[in-house]
Chain A
Amino acid sequence: MKLLKVENVSMIFGGLTAVKEFNLELNQGEIVALIGPNGAGKTTAFNVITGVYTPTIGHISYKGKEITGQRPDQITKLGIARTFQNIRLFKELSVLDNVLIANHLHLKSNFLEATFKLPRYRREEKEILEKSLNLLEKVGLQDAQGEKASSLPYGKQRRLEIARALATNPAILLLDEPAAGMNPKETDDLTEFIRQIRDEFQLSIFMIEHHMQVVMGISDRICVFDYGVTIAEGNPYEIQNNQKVIEAYLGVAEDYA
């Protein structure tokens, strides 16, 4: 089933075309990677999908429904969650609070019920707490729940960000450079972890990643961006042997003959 469909999307800032005629189809359970040199417009593509920017041209639909132009919180509520390239946790709040906050969007009680701790709110709060503790355990942060989010080591902050995104009950998870700054051991763990959450939460994953070991290891398909243009799309093997991709990354060989 096609979960997400991005059709012919362009994002133009003044004279700069950050993303040009971007097309993507994401199926249930798939892992798709978006790669490309720095400044190729990958994060802009993410921001367009998650509603941070409204695309200049083109349409995005989720489960057959048009979502172009909706606010980020509305899109998250529909089931598209994301993480950020430069980790955006609620730094001063506890690890547990970070995950609890991501449950707020599905809360049915209004603020009066919450303030006066009426039965429906108490029940919901209990469910939220259980679910959050469960998630923290799954990402291996159960021992750190009371700590300030900013005091966690880098790798754990990344995991917390993923746990937080998972708490919104997404069907699609967008990961913006999840392996950035990780050592080889952590990278291996992360690859395994992404696979694991995909299966457990029945997610489709769309990720930006520079780390080729991760990308080639888990992607079903790969999109390659260069200057906002999709220069190639295919399975890992095809991408590795694509002349255009090699040129984009390594430059064009000059003929000195």
Chain B
Amino acid sequence: MKQKKTLLTVITIFVLFALVYLADQTLDPYKMRILNLCAIYVVLGLSMNLINGFTGLFSLGHAGFMAVGAYTTAILTMPDVVKGQNFFMAPMMKPLDTAHVPFFLALLISGILAGVVGYLIGAPALRLRGDYLAIATLGFAEIIRVVFTNMQSVTNGALGLKGIPVSANIWWTFGVALVTVLVIGSLINSSYGRAFKAIREDEIAAESMGINLFKHKVLAFTIGAFFAGIGGGLLGSLLGTIDPLMFRFFLTFNVLLIIILGGMGSITGTIISAFIITIGGELLRFLDESMTIGNLVIPGISGMRMVVFSALLMIVVLFFNRGIMGTKELSWDSFFNKFSKKPLAKGGNKQ
């Protein structure tokens, strides 16, 4: 039975990549960009869900980690000539001005650096709980942004970086998304993942079951930051241009929406809602334009789409307040159980 499910998973992954290939061949660049964004938001959503959903730490520092990742990837992949063109206010710091690594390595270093920053932020901030942690992490993310704005010779300050080589394509984004799903999924289903969930459920009980709260919180936070850094690196590489203003709280808020809509503590929920929110946001774009219904002409109000989007989200949160999936997962078991007439098997862990 277990082998059968593994086979099904492998087949699904193949079908997925066949679809990606098909999309790559047939869709126009605008639609491809949206698909790329979907995959990047899967990475970002999962990394935030690990911290907020699975470990129950209310952290709002995601944009900061993404900034670290995006800038690292950009600096490590930009050609020297482009760097020279970008840094006209102040020359770029040595040896960064000639630093070069392949895209894959740049992403990995982005993740590691973001992880280090996550660790340094987490070590003091994770002594706080709940709302206090949210405020502290939000503050740290802003600090990162302000520091980047003022490091003229490293980040080019408020001018941002332009002409980042667009290495991220659909294979990179979906590939990284798949790896993230597999790695975080495997971590969550391990003994460490159970410890994270125990901390979410009841810190006092978890601690008296011998779980070192601080160590595990910092671990979840650091791994989350690692993947956020990779997601940020992909995003910068996809857009080709980044500046500090991109990494304001709004970006964190977007990712937070994804995990709340998808279900705090659900991997499949996060994947589904990353697609819904990214594609939905684009579909609602017509609301910003002027509309003609019969004889009535409604003038376009820019930002209308966000109003409608927020209203839709409010409905979701009011009526399905645990998100699409809650803490449940779509799995082959639940799939088979839905389609067979047999009652649900007891003891879901038997495989």
Contacts and interface: CB of A to CB of B under 8 A. Distances in A.
Given A90-B197, A115-B183, A146-B348, A104 B205 contact: no
B121 interface: no
A76 B208 contact: yes
Interface string B236-274: 000000000000000000000000000000000000000
A71 B190 contact: no
Contact of B349 (A52, A94, A117): A94
Contacts of B212: 71, 73
Contacts of B346: 143, 146-147
Contact of B205 (A77, A89, A124): A89
A114 B208 contact: no
Interface string B208-222: 111111000001000
A109 B207 CA distance: 19
A168 B209 contact: yes
Given A115-B183, A116-B186, A146-B347, A100 B219 contact: no
Contacts of B204: 52, 84, 88
A88 B206 CA distance: 9
A22 to B, nearest CB: 20
B208 A101 contact: no
B327 interface: yes
Given A100-B191, A103-B191, A90 B198 contact: yes
Interface in B332-351: 346-350
Contacts of A121: 190-191
Given A93-B197, A107-B191, A76 B186 contact: no
Given A84-B205, A92-B327, A94-B349, A105 B190 contact: no
B187 interface: yes
B5 interface: no
B282 interface: no
Contacts of B309: none
B191 A82 contact: no
Contact of B190 (A92, A106, A114): A114
Interface centre among B190, B195, B206, B211 (most CB of A within 10 A): B190
Main secondary structure of the interface of B (DSSP, over half): helix
A25 B335 CA distance: 56
Nearest to A145: B347
B209 A102 contact: yes
Contacts of B201: 90-93
B192 interface: yes
Nearest to B347: A146
Nearest to B205: A88
A125 interface: yes
Interface string A139-169: 0000101110000000000000000110010
B211 A73 contact: yes
A164 B197 contact: no
A145 B205 CA distance: 19
Nearest to A83: B208
B210 A105 contact: yes
A97 interface: yes
Interface centre among B192, B206, B212, B350 (most CB of A within 10 A): B192
Given A115-B187, A145-B349, A146-B348, A72 B194 contact: no
Interface of B: 183, 186-187, 190-192, 194-195, 197-198, 201-202, 204-213, 219, 223, 327, 346-350
Interface of A: 50, 52, 71-73, 76-77, 81-82, 84, 88-94, 96-97, 100-107, 109, 111, 114-117, 121, 124-125, 128, 143, 145-147, 164-165, 168
Given A73-B207, A115-B192, A168-B210, 9 more contacts: A52-B204, A73-B209, A90-B206, A92-B197, A101-B197, A101-B206, A111-B192, A117-B186, A128-B191
6 contacts: A73-B211, A90-B197, A93-B201, A100-B191, A115-B190, A168-B209
Ranked 6 nearest A-B pairs via Cβ: A105-B210, A114-B190, A146-B347, A76-B210, A90-B201, A88-B205
